[in-house]
Amino acid sequence: MTVDPRAGRPRASSRETLAEAACELFLEQGYEATSIADIATRAGVSRSSFFNYFSSKGDILWAAFDERVDVAIAALAADDATPARDILMAIADDFAPDSLALAVANATVMGLDDELEGERALRQARLARAIADRAHRDGLPRLRAEVQGAAGAGAVLAAVWQWAHAGAGQADLGPVVAEALDAAPVGEPPTVRQLRVVVQAPDFEDTLTFYRDVLGMPQAEAYEAEGGARVAILDAGRATLELANSAQVAFIDRVETDGIASDRIRIALEVGDTSGVAERLAAGGARLEATPRETPWRSLNARLRGPADLQLTLFQELGPA
């Protein structure tokens, strides 16, 4: 007499029943050799019933995880109040061992190594895009946002794999995701989103012409107010704040100018051709304080005094010797 392998199991078609049947078959005969018809037969349901729960054979493994990722992606796009890290941590909330964890832990036996890696990459890319877009909206430059997105998504998927290999039923997924995100921080935008140097320029037109037209800093914004008030905001590329103690300032002055003292605040501008830009600025109204010279840290520096009494350092990164 043939014994029904599903004897004693409820005959009701359900996602859990189909998933259990599929994993049994993947372990017994491999993923590629198992058909949807095989899974439906083992589960005791019709083939058409299979598609009430899953769109494909691979969907059996990923459906529960995909639902959580879809929720996270929607939240990253719509909920700017909740920190991105908290949204990613929610993927792990009450995440019980399922078909995906079993497949990851038994990928070689099931013949699933290539299948899982390919599907993992697709989900990692979707999640990375959502994290990056959120980070960019939060104020990170696009490149840094893309890196943060890739790191955050990679951390989540790496945590799932680590959790599965360690024995998914032995620990919660949440602490593993938290540890992974600690290694690839995803979270709040920086407190300071832009450095803006505000300069009082009594000779406004000449100063604007020099920095915008001669030096070549594009005008990003301009405003006027009552009483002849005017302001122009020029784009200076990436902004940083360099803090130096007195000994460092004296050292830089010796290297860059043969000892001409720096102002308390000096504006340093990275350019592609220090000599050419210095010559152009001198011709446009700046006073050359120190001619271009190579520094020990492989940059070509020149110092000038520009309109509005700004002390300027031009520096060109020369790269390795």
Q: What is the pLDDT of residue 193?
A: 66
Q: What is the pLDDT of residue 102?
A: 92
pLDDT at 157: 97
Beta strands 267-270; 310-317: pairing state:
parallel
Distance of alpha carbon 17 from the chain centroid: 39
> Using H for helix, E for strand and C for coil, what is the string for the chain?
CCCCCCCCCCCCCCHHHHHHHHHHHHHHHCCCCCCHHHHHHHHCCCHHHHCCCCCCCCHHHHHHHHHHHHHHHHHHHHCCCCCHHHHHHHHHCCCCCCHHHHHHHCHHHHCCHHHHHHHHHHHHHHHHHHHHHHHHHCCCCHHHHHHHHHHHHHHHHHHHHHHHHCCHHHCCHHHHHHHHHHHCCCCCCCCCCCCCCCCCCCCHHHHHHHHHHHCCCCEEEEEEEHHHEEEEEECCCCCCCCCCCHHHHHHHHHHHHCCCCCCCCCEEEECCCHHHHHHHHHHCCCEEEEEEEECCCCEEEEEEEEHHHEEEEEEEECCCC
- Judge if 59-183 and 204-317 fold alike in CATH terms: no
What's the fold here for domain 59-183? Tetracycline Repressor; domain 2 (1.10.357)
- Tell me what pLDDT residue 320 has: 83
User: What pLDDT, on a 0 to 100 scale, did the predictor assign at position 13?
Assistant: 44
Alpha carbons 274 and 268: distance in angstroms, whole number: 12
What pLDDT score was predicted for residue 259?
Answer: 83
Domain locations in the chain as residue ranges: 59-183, 204-317
Closest Cα to residue 22, out of 36, 10, 8?
36
**What is the C-alpha separation between 187 and 88, in angstroms, rounded?**
10
pTM greater than 0.85 (yes/no): no
- Cα 19 to Cα 33: distance, rounded to the nearest angstrom: 16
For the stretch 162-189, pLDDT in tens is 999 998 778 889 999 999 998 887 875 6
Spans of the chain, pLDDT less than 70: 1-13, 188-193
Confidence (pLDDT) at 189:
60
CA dist 39 → 12, 15, 32, 49, 59 (Å): 14, 12, 12, 11, 13
Superfamily covering domain 204-317: 2,3-Dihydroxybiphenyl 1,2-Dioxygenase, domain 1 (3.10.180.10)
